[in-house]
Amino acid sequence: MRTFQELLDEHRNNCVAPDEGADPDVAIYLLALSLGIIDDTVNFATDFKHIAWSRNALGDELYKIINRMLELGILKEVGEEDQLVWDDEFDWQNVR
């Protein structure tokens, strides 16, 4: 199983522009994948998108985790559309 950081970095490496990251809905998909909630047979567009785009317990909790990771500086927003990337400057030892 790959980590969330690995999946997010892989997604970023596959983007067209170097300053792009993952849209929040893609980020929660990657988080769910890294946590083992879903496996890699689950397609984002056909199987998971409704979790990200509607009010439901799973989607809401995944968004809370993403938002908390932003608050802690684990993730940062890039680009004009607030896309998410792993913040390489994050140091868990500095979190208080």
pTM of the model: 0.91
Using 50, 70 and 90 to split pLDDT, how confident is the model at 16? low
6-32 average pLDDT score: 89
Separation between Cα atoms, residue 17 and residue 63, nearest integer Å:
25
Cα separation, 91 vs 51, in Å, equals 31
| Residues whose CB falls within 8 Å of the CB of residue 25, separated by 6 or more in sequence, listed in order | 49, 52, 53
> CA 48, CA 21: separation in Å to the nearest integer?
19
What digits encode the pLDDT tens for the residues 73-95? Answer: 999 999 877 899 999 999 999 88
Map out the domains of the chain as residue ranges: 4-90
Using CA atoms, how far apart are residues 83 and 21, in angstroms rounded to an integer?
5
**Confidence at residue 67, expressed as pLDDT on a 0 to 100 scale:** 97
